[in-house]
Amino acid sequence: MTERKIGPFILGKQIGAGGMGIVYMATYVENGKEVALKVLPPGLSGDAKMLKRFEREIDILKRLTHPNIVKYYGGGTHQGQRWYAMELVDGGSLQDILKKKKRLSWDQAVQVGRQLCAALEVAHNAGIIHRDLKPANLFVTKKGKIKLGDFGIARDTEATALTAAGKTVGTYAYMAPEQIQGNVPISRKTDLYATGCLLYEVLTGQTPFVADNPAEMLMQHLNDDPYNVREKIPECPLALDQLIERLLAKSPDDRPYDALAVHTELTEILQKSQQVVSEVSPEAMAAAGASKGSTVDPETGELKPKKKKKKKDNSAFYEKTWFLVTCFFLLIAAAVWMVLGPNEDALYLKAKEAMATGDDSSVVKFDDAKRMFLLPYLEQYPEGKHVQEVSGWLDDAEVAILERQAENMARGKRDGRNRHEKDCIAALQAERDKDRNLLESIELFQQMLNSLSSENAQPAAATSGEKADATEAGGIIGDPKYWRVLAERHLKSQKEALLTHSERNRIITERMTAAEKLLASDKPEEGQQILALFRDIFRSERDLDPWLDYARFRQNGEPAEMPKQ
């Protein structure tokens, strides 16, 4: 049989199909690497709208790089047929797993949710709303890693969710009320609703709403409340049940703030269960029937026997038998944990490793470090020998989390939750706007610092216990010291950018010209403010003495000429 080629790839069997294209297993000729190749069928290649959607999907995948998102390799056109290559995930989809297993255990569901939320955080920060989250679009490696794919109908303001290409009856099972009604803008919280539907299905074996036809199902999304997960699965932790209930709230305002917030809650739920199996005594291991030398993996809870030469186990994570064994000694392990607790040095080292810069500086990383290591250390060892260092790490993590939240709100043009956040959002928006004068964002960050100082808002040094209490959900938003650090960092960065800019004099001239116009208008106080802020910000920069003298003279109402280049 003649091999069929598209670009540098030899096509294999078809592994997927939908309204946005056909997916084949393919082999890269040069090195034999297997990939998934998505091809726009010939019949659709001449459809301008479909071609635009296909190109948009390529553009989205190019912008999203994360371990939990299917990787894009490249694309092209072959004999008028558009295609692109992406990572081939070797374990099928979550839908395949659910067809076989019906449902997963609650801890496995939490792991699915955490990985999905990590992917969504990256996508949402890039301004991408997936809009089609469902088990068929979550691909699973043989080692159990989740990878989000199929961005074919990601947020498109030109189409509604009900008419967009690629929608199927199955998708209606995950559709948020605002998608159905169209009276509230689609947002990241639309994906969070679908995440709640997906977690509900993973836990119970069925979607929150079941109906004989799409119309009835859509009405259920709008008007009905599903059974609580614990009514169907009693072993589900109450916190997980309550989280899913909030994810499925009819109003987007009643859902969690963003994917990061959901990831945080799922991490806390998992952490509580891990704590009772992370340190298990030999007696408890023996009581569970484990062989000598066996250990428990603190990340997954898996019972690991002593290593010995044997045939490699290639089975997928959901086919393991460890969970039943682990459950047997869970209660014994809990008692051991309550007596012994974690070792201080071990917890410190885990915190140090988690805060190491490396290549991963994502907010999910800092949030994990905060919840899993930093806060537990400060709560358990308030007088510990590493308190000062861990407290500093916690401050760094809090600022990183706060900064990402403010950046998300600035990107989405949303209002802040308090005055400090509103000031920060305005400054970040000016910083991102390349059409605005660089000095404008610098002035806004300086104004933010002046406002914080005028309130004399820097709190007295807190004890480690108070620090732990103050940093619970939402606590950092109202703490001025984190806003101060954030503003100082951006102000320093923006100042350096101006001082080293090749067109520094032109930038300053433009801003001073704007100040002169305001002085001559009915808003002279705004012109005075620009002059005053310039002097505050750059008073120690000797290179700018001519400009500082100019600003001083004009602020005092004296005539002066702008320095020449």
Which positions are catalytic?
Answer: 132
Residues 6 or more apart in contact with residue 493 via CB below 8 angstroms: none
Going by C-alpha positions, the residue among 130, 105, 137, 139 that lies closest to residue 193 is 130
CA distance 550 to 539: 12
Residues 6 or more apart in contact with residue 332 via CB below 8 angstroms: 280, 281, 283, 284, 287, 288
Sign, CA torsion 209/210/211/215? positive
Cα-Cα-Cα-Cα torsion 39, 45, 47, 49, nearest 10 degrees, comes to: 40
Residue in the block written with tokens 């074919």: 152
CA distance 332 to 326: 10
Angle between helices 438-454 and 419-432 (to 10 degrees): 170
Residues 6 or more apart in contact with residue 96 via CB below 8 angstroms: 140
Residues 6 or more apart in contact with residue 480 via CB below 8 angstroms: 420, 452, 455, 457, 458, 459
CA 328 from centre of chain: 35
Helix, strand, coil percentages in the chain from 3-state DSSP, rounded to 5:
55, 10, 35
Tokens of 212: 């004989």
CA distance 532 to 529: 5
Identity of the residue numbered 541:
E
Q: How big is the CA angle at 555 (ends 553 and 558), to the nearest 5 degrees?
A: 40
Q: Is 323:277 a contact under the CB 8 Å cutoff?
A: no
Residues 6 or more apart in contact with residue 309 via CB below 8 angstroms: none
Sign, CA torsion 162/163/164/166? positive
CA distance 101 to 320: 12
Other Cβ atoms less than 10 A from the Cβ of 496: the count is 10
Residue in the block written with tokens 């390349």: 434
**What are the CA-CA distances from residue 97 to residues 24, 25, 202, 487, 520 (Å)?**
20, 20, 10, 47, 71
Residues 6 or more apart in contact with residue 75 via CB below 8 angstroms: 58, 82, 83, 84, 85
CA 337 from centre of chain: 32
Which SS3 state, helix, strand or coil, does residue 284 take? Answer: helix
CA distance 292 to 289: 9
